[in-house]
Chains A and B, each alone.
Chain A
């Protein structure tokens, strides 16, 4: 056998040629999705369909908030103190003030329309939620993949950190990161950077779930034939990890991502409620609940109850969707 023959074995077979082209793969997967088990299970689960619909409605409300909301609550000049503390439409408060149709869910102490504040708050809550989940997913997947594929000391180091972190509740970790950041930054800068601090704090409290799951699947994938084959033809380990192993371990990431979104939104709301989250100038649902809480003793319940209700509906819908997705993607339950 000539030297040329062996070199065909090692280098001339481009491993990329083995995979179908990207557009065809995309078309295939769309087709497979509508024919597949997941879509079938979706159409047969009323809970999944309702929670999906609710989540979509809330997402659309959040994305198009400036066009949908009756009032732009970010624009302070439109606020009128004469409009403050109106009860919801159809209700009368303790002082005999009747609600007006202009403010469907009433107004707060500044004259802000509660419905608009909720829609804008939803936007902020979801922004922080999505950003932190994406950050946690990327970091966690990367660390899990490297940890599982490399093994050895690096693996036990990363997993030891994950173990230790898991013994502490995530809210405590987020609070701590927030506190340290508060000390490191000057006050003026702090308010501006707050949203990023919050995103990092929540992501830092959530990466572990992604890392552990991805590591588990990587350990399984690593011993499969296609990885062995790629190793034999001399593909660089980094390329094997990210081009070949990664697409096969991302399935559960979607499920964890959905469930994490609910937790992230809840963590953000909790931090904002505790007064260490977003500043009042850009209120999220948690901030709205905190502001409204001061007024329940004077009977003005709507300022806190409606934002709470929005938060609960959002978290419940995303949670149920995540639960369904977990069952639908789990082959054992089919």
Chain B
């Protein structure tokens, strides 16, 4: 197991190194940073001085080392478009995206798992068939179409929910939250539902498939033969064993929630990191693009690593293999 962890750790470091190299290359070849920072009337001497000060006259490996050192300390340079340090911009936007992702992940789990259990246990009831049909729609509708339909239905026609922004935020010092007020919740419902819908259907189908699989196994039959109550069998034995793949998939899906939040944030004008990145692309704001890339890669690497480790923590069989090796 130690070898496994070390191997995964090594792979994570390689990925981060490659991503850092890509984003460094973006700085090198896409546009001239000096041109991006000084005005039209700057003299050649001024340009050379800035070039020297920015370390652009050093060799490429030295520059790369500087870039990595700065990135590790959270310094990503100035945004070309807004003239502010990128790390400040991201710190401003991060809470919005994190809250959106957290609320949708919880929604997907808290609704998806019970729906999956129900459809797994009562596979022929009309409600199960209804859930499955709806889930097919959830999978085929693109995220942005769901968002637009929700805005049209609940925002424009019914007028129940606000359609853009976060509403009032409460400042908790380092974290500005919109989850402390009723108005904030009314703002987050539609974006979070839009983002959660695909994951919800995925989890429901996964839990259903796993339940059907587990309910066929011998130990469930033995449990029934012993006369255990249905409730104990279904929830104590069956559900517990379906949750291992659900944890894995959910962990990996948090990554895709982060990526798809770009779309949801665009539809609902949600002031998060995704919107920042998208504007970065439209205005070729290299520091914003490259730091978002590094940050996302870091998230993905951490999530993948955690899921791998969780797998060992949750599944006793994998642990017992390790113990067994000691005998």
Is chain B's binding surface mostly helix, strand, loop or mixed? helix
- Contact A274 to B262, CB < 8 A, known contacts A183-B286, A312-B142: yes
Q: Could you say which residues of chain A place their CB within 8 Å of the CB of B151?
A: 296
The 8 Å CB contact of A289, one of B148, B281, B282, is B148
Nearest Cβ on chain B to A292's Cβ, whole angstroms: 8
Asked whether B284 lies within 8 Å of A273 as measured between CB atoms, the reply is no
**A319–B142 CA distance with the chains assembled, in angstroms:** 13
Asked whether B145 lies within 8 Å of A311 as measured between CB atoms, the reply is yes
Q: Could you say which residues of chain A place their CB within 8 Å of the CB of B296?
A: 168, 172
Nearest Cβ on chain B to A60's Cβ, whole angstroms: 22
Residues of chain B in range 225-253 having any CB-CB distance to chain A below 8 Å: 252
Q: Could you say which residues of chain A place their CB within 8 Å of the CB of B149?
A: 305, 308
Residues of B in contact (CB 8 Å), total: 41
0/1 string, A266-307, CB within 8 A of B gives 1: 100110011110000000000001000100110101001100
**A276–B263 CA distance with the chains assembled, in angstroms:** 12
Asked whether A270 lies within 8 Å of B140 as measured between CB atoms, the reply is no
The 8 Å CB contact of B259, one of A164, A171, A289, A308, is A171
- Contact A183 to B31, CB < 8 A, known contacts A308-B148, A311-B145, A316-B140: yes
Q: Could you say which residues of chain B place their CB within 8 Å of the CB of A301?
A: 152, 156
Residue of B nearest to A276 (CB): B281
**A70–B267 CA distance with the chains assembled, in angstroms:** 31
Asked whether A184 lies within 8 Å of B30 as measured between CB atoms, the reply is yes
Q: Could you say which residues of chain A place their CB within 8 Å of the CB of B278?
A: 175, 274-276
Nearest Cβ on chain A to B183's Cβ, whole angstroms: 20
Residues of chain A in range 152-182 having any CB-CB distance to chain B below 8 Å: 164, 167-169, 171-172, 175-176, 178-180, 182
Asked whether B259 lies within 8 Å of A312 as measured between CB atoms, the reply is no
**A155–B266 CA distance with the chains assembled, in angstroms:** 40
The 8 Å CB contact of B142, one of A172, A269, A275, A304, is A269
Residues of A in contact (CB 8 Å), total: 35
A315 touches B (CB below 8 Å): yes
Residue of B nearest to A273 (CB): B144
Asked whether B26 lies within 8 Å of A289 as measured between CB atoms, the reply is no
**A266–B198 CA distance with the chains assembled, in angstroms:** 14
Residues of chain B in range 148-185 having any CB-CB distance to chain A below 8 Å: 148-149, 151-152, 155-156, 163
Q: Could you say which residues of chain A place their CB within 8 Å of the CB of B163?
A: 297
Residue of B nearest to A161 (CB): B18
**A208–B141 CA distance with the chains assembled, in angstroms:** 24
**A301–B153 CA distance with the chains assembled, in angstroms:** 10
Asked whether B156 lies within 8 Å of A296 as measured between CB atoms, the reply is yes
**A164–B278 CA distance with the chains assembled, in angstroms:** 23
B126 touches A (CB below 8 Å): no
- Contact A305 to B142, CB < 8 A, known contacts A178-B281, A183-B30, A276-B278: no
Nearest Cβ on chain A to B255's Cβ, whole angstroms: 7
